[in-house]
Structure 1
């Protein structure tokens, strides 16, 4: 049982009501993640700002969703995997085969996107310590040094939401239920610190 409240526009601090109203306008509902982050207005504002900054990177909408899905799968975030699976398919118009491969940790049918996914996964798994060979493969696939740092931005952005969802036990929104995802069994046996 979570000790946190998923705030509505009405129950949120006055400082974030306009932010939640923006979420309602953008998505047609206030995502539970946003309502949970509203407990700390600066955290919600940071998340929204990081979302905007990540959307301004040089990556295409599909590439951005590849990055965010890989990070969420690697961090075992059931909420974000479901949400970004839906966003990838419906908003970014990503190939469902790519989304399914990402959700299952399989190689992608597109070699360039697979290099992107492999690099993002390595950044998360190795906490930013990425060997030269992995970096070289990413650059050889056609990505730039600037995009290396844009992946790091994606990791920072998604880590904020992944960790928040773990801590506050964010319930999955009805809008994302069709893409519900279960973390691998070995992840559910982790002990709380």
Structure 2
């Protein structure tokens, strides 16, 4: 894989410095995903902007993390699975729900499972969710607004998942306790 540059606030292009400084102030460190995206200020700004917009969604903080983790699981992004496992804990996600999201097993909460299943369907079908996918989602108590918020969350995570696949950032020490490896698919066995 090509070597990408992982900038700090001193080495980053001018258009990225402010975003990295803001992240450092918020988290106490600059996550490697942001350090890598800093090489393309527009990509970093896009990620930061989408994150801020997604935080305004009507989905609860736990539901938003379900979407981000389900997308990262489907895309096999080890970095995002670790980072968002931490964010899910901060959002006070139930440990059993988080474990199920990380292992690809049924969630113990029916409504959250419907959210995860819908997210997976949208990712797998590249946005072509069918009537049965939508019906199950609506039957679980979600709305048309939530459909579009799921698409927003998938968009956010696709940007970081795909970037991570190419940049291959080292997992930050802060996320090491939540390290995750994609399960081997049956086809690969």
**TM value normalised by structure 1:** 0.94
Partner residue, 1:93: 92
Q: Is there any run of 5+ residues in structure 2 with no aligned partner, and where?
A: none
Superposed structure 1 runs of 4+ greater than 4 Å apart: none
Deviation at 1:184, TM superposition (A): 2.0
Q: d(CA) in 2 for partners of 1:102 and 1:15?
A: 35
In structure 2, the residue corresponding to 1:127 is in which secondary structure?
coil
Partner residue, 1:163: 162
Partner residue, 1:122: 121
Q: Find out whether 1:19 has 2:33 as its counterpart.
A: no
Deviation at 1:170, TM superposition (A): 1.1
Deviation at 1:129, TM superposition (A): 1.0
Q: Verify the 8 A CA contact 1:74 1:121 in the aligned structure 2.
A: yes
Query: What does the per-residue CA deviation read over 1:90-146, in whole Å, with 9 as the maximum and x for residues that have no partner?
Result: x20111110110011111111110100000010001111111111101001110001
Q: Verify the 8 A CA contact 1:68 1:158 in the aligned structure 2.
A: yes
Q: Verify the 8 A CA contact 1:77 1:165 in the aligned structure 2.
A: yes
Q: d(CA) in 1 for partners of 2:136 and 2:103?
A: 22
Q: d(CA) in 1 for partners of 2:175 and 2:95?
A: 15
Q: Is there any run of 5+ residues in structure 1 with no aligned partner, and where?
A: none
**TM value normalised by structure 2:** 0.96
Q: Verify the 8 A CA contact 1:119 1:138 in the aligned structure 2.
A: yes
